[in-house]
Amino acid sequence: MSRAALLVLADGRFPAGGHAHSGGAEEAVKAGRITGAASLEVFCRGRLHTSGLVSAALAAAAALGADPVALDTAADARTPSPALRTAARRLGRQMMRAARATWPHPELDALARRFPKGAHQPVVLGLTARAAGLGPEDAAYCSAYEAVSGPATATVRLLSLDPFDATAVLARLAPDLDHVALRAADAARRVADEGVDALPAASAPLLEIGAEAHAAWPVRLFAS
């Protein structure tokens, strides 16, 4: 297992398209739920323990070799918002392009053929981790970190928040990231015996509602 591969996959400069998405932060800023570092931390913690946990578990299960089609169906079932499903598939398509160029693998090729318009991003992320020789915890950590680093980076742009303050938020969330990643990997290991119902289905209704409102804006800085 190459820890260097983990660094490449988790690097915000990996060309997987995440820079164009705010993870719900843009709508939350406009609605007044994120106004600075303190409220950003509250937002990120809530996102991490709900949709972030779900995504991390899907990624970990894909890294373990669970059926990606079943995982994609499970991701759909856990994403009520059509806008978020669309965003997840767009991100999945972009990550697939980057993954196949970086770590060519037959399983990535097969998934790309099965989902020409893109599978859910966590499923692609997990399969990318598998192609890179990484394990379920690695995939879970990458996914969980994305759940909070995306909104933090977006908020720097949206509010001109001091980048040092945004980074401090991510550092304070480290214990939560550990908890979520390990819980996600544990759930993923149960998929082989229990099926995809073993995966978490934590909900974040306000994120779902906000995503639908955001998708209707005529002008926005981020795609989601």
d(CA 141, CA 27): 25
> Is 157:220 a contact under the CB 8 Å cutoff?
no
Q: Break the chain down into helix, strand, coil percent, rounded to 5.
A: 75, 0, 25
Per-residue pLDDT band at 17 (split at 50, 70, 90):
confident
Q: Which residue intervals of 2-120 are DSSP H helices?
A: 3-10, 25-30, 37-47, 53-63, 68-77, 82-102, 106-114
Checking phi first, is residue 23 left (phi over 0); if not, alpha (psi -120 to 50) or beta?
left
d(CA 176, CA 178): 5
DSSP conformational letter for 44: H
pLDDT digits (tens, 9 = 90+) for 145-187: 999 999 999 999 999 999 999 999 999 999 999 999 999 999 9
pTM of the model: 0.95
pLDDT value at 2 more than 80:
no
pLDDT digits (tens, 9 = 90+) for 97-132: 999 999 999 999 999 999 999 999 999 999 999 999
> Is 107:144 a contact under the CB 8 Å cutoff?
no
Dihedral sign for Cα atoms in the order 63, 65, 67, 70: negative
Q: What number is the average pLDDT over the span 7-12?
A: 86
d(CA 88, CA 129): 17
> 């993870």: which residue's tokens?
23
Per-residue pLDDT band at 5 (split at 50, 70, 90):
confident
List the chain domain ranges.
Answer: 45-215
Amino acid (1-letter code) at residue 98 = A
